[in-house]
């Protein structure tokens, strides 16, 4: 009797989590899969019903915006994650050194991590608006950077970098603190300079942390809607519309739930495929004998 009860303890402990995940994550995914095969449009209820693969056919062959948003999503994720990784790694290495005021410096450079996407938009609108922004001090008066298709991409990239770099810095700093100090001493005794110590001690030890951080952030930037939704609304002329933003527009604005669900499924499949491919290519978690 007591063993039975003891065996049930871990299941009791995880039961609230399992219930919540089942009800609010697994079930919704199932219903998205179901709706993707249906015509379901709140504005045209007479046409609702089973659609088969019609939504997917429309998406793949008739919807140019789908392909355009997919292309922009890829560009957005790669540029953002790449730049955030480089700057975040540099920042982590800097604040891992010991100097006076290190705690304060860490708090300050990490602080944008805690700021929401909407607030980031609010702040950077103040910086970008021609009449009030800082660009007028840099000799770019009256340039509406967010309304111009040529400048809008660098503008949103810099904005997201401001908030995104601290995430990498925090994760990689945690990784750096797990590297045993003797390794650096041994490398120094062997005559390895700073650059070689970085490439032969630091980088190999950070490898898993980097793979995990880039993956998490890649997924996160893929799904990131708050910032683009409020900063550009996907414009000008849909130039900054990511796939999830396109889905949100479809679902919220045109109430086309069936087609929106098909787009969602496409997003899932692409994301899952890319993630597995990425982990495979990087041989994540495998023991690497060097």
Partner 1 sequence: MSADVMTRPRSRAAVPAGARRRRSKRKDPGRVLRLYIPLGLYLVFTLVPFYWMLVFALRPAGSTDPVPWPITFEHFETVWNDIGYAVFFKNSVIVGVWSLLFTTVIAVMGGYALARYRFRGRSLFMVVLLCTQFIPGAMMLIPLFSIFKSLGLINSLGSLVLADTVFNLPLSIILMSGFISAVPFTVEEAAMVDGCTRFRGFLAIVLPQLRPGLIAVGSFAFIHTWNNFLFALMFVSKQDSFTIPVGLSYTIGEYSADFGALAAGGVVAALPVVCVFAVVQRYLVHGISAGAVKG
Within residues 29-58, the interface with partner 1 by CB under 8 A covers: 29, 31-32, 35
Count the residues of the shown chain that bind partner 1, applying the rule CB under 8 A. Answer: 96
CB of 114 to partner 1, least distance (A): 4
Phi and psi at 49, nearest 5°, equal 155, -175
Residue closer to partner 1 (CB basis): 57 or 255: 255
Phi and psi at 149, nearest 5°, equal -60, -25
Decide: is 267 part of the binding site for partner 1 (CB under 8 A). yes
Site for partner 1 in 230-249 (CB under 8 A): 230, 244-245, 247-248
Alpha-carbon distance of 78 to 59, in angstroms, equals: 24
Q: Is there a contact between 95 and 173 (Cβ–Cβ < 8 Å)?
A: yes
| Pairing verdict, β 49-50 and 38-39 | antiparallel
Residue closer to partner 1 (CB basis): 54 or 208: 208
Of the candidates 184, 207, 211, 278, which one interacts with partner 1 according to CB under 8 A?
184
Taking CA atoms, 206 is separated from 58, 81, 94, 102, 118, in Å, by 44, 16, 15, 22, 32
Decide: is 252 part of the binding site for partner 1 (CB under 8 A). yes
Decide: is 86 part of the binding site for partner 1 (CB under 8 A). no
Site for partner 1 in 203-232 (CB under 8 A): 209, 216, 219, 222-223, 225-226, 229-230
Both structure tokens of 90:
């540099």
Decide: is 9 part of the binding site for partner 1 (CB under 8 A). yes
Decide: is 74 part of the binding site for partner 1 (CB under 8 A). no
Alpha-carbon distance of 131 to 236, in angstroms, equals: 20
Decide: is 148 part of the binding site for partner 1 (CB under 8 A). no
């Amino acid at each position: 009797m007591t063993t039975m009860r003891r065996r049930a303890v871990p299941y009791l402990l995880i039961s609230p989590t399992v219930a919540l995940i089942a009800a609010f994550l697994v079930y919704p995914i199932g219903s998205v899969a179901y709706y993707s095969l249906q015509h379901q449009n709140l504005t045209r209820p007479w046409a609702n019903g089973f659609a088969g693969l019609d939504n997917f056919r429309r998406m793949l062959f008739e919807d140019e915006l789908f392909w355009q948003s997919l292309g922009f999503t890829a560009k957005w994720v790669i540029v953002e994650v790449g730049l955030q990784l480089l700057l975040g790694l540099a920042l982590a290495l800097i604040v891992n050194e010991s100097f006076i005021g290190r705690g304060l410096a860490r708090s300050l450079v990490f602080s944008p991590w805690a700021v929401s996407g909407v607030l980031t938009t609010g702040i950077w609108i103040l910086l970008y608006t021609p009449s009030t922004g800082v660009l007028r001090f840099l000799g770019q008066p009256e340039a509406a950077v967010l309304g111009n298709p040529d400048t809008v991409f660098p503008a949103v990239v810099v904005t997201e970098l401001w908030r995104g770099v601290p995430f990498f810095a925090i994760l990689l700093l945690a990784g750096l603190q797990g590297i045993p100090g003797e390794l650096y001493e041994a490398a120094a005794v062997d005559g390895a300079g700073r650059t070689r110590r970085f490439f032969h001690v630091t980088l190999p030890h950070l490898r898993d942390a980097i793979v995990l951080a880039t993956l998490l952030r890649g997924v996160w930037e893929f799904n990131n809607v708050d910032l683009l939704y409020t900063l550009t609304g996907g414009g000008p002329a849909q130039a900054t519309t990511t796939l999830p933003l396109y889905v949100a527009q479809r679902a919220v604005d045109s109430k086309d739930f069936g087609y929106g669900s098909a787009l969602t499924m496409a997003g899932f499949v692409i994301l899952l495929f890319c993630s597995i491919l990425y982990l495979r290519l990087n041989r994540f978690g495998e023991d690497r004998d060097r």
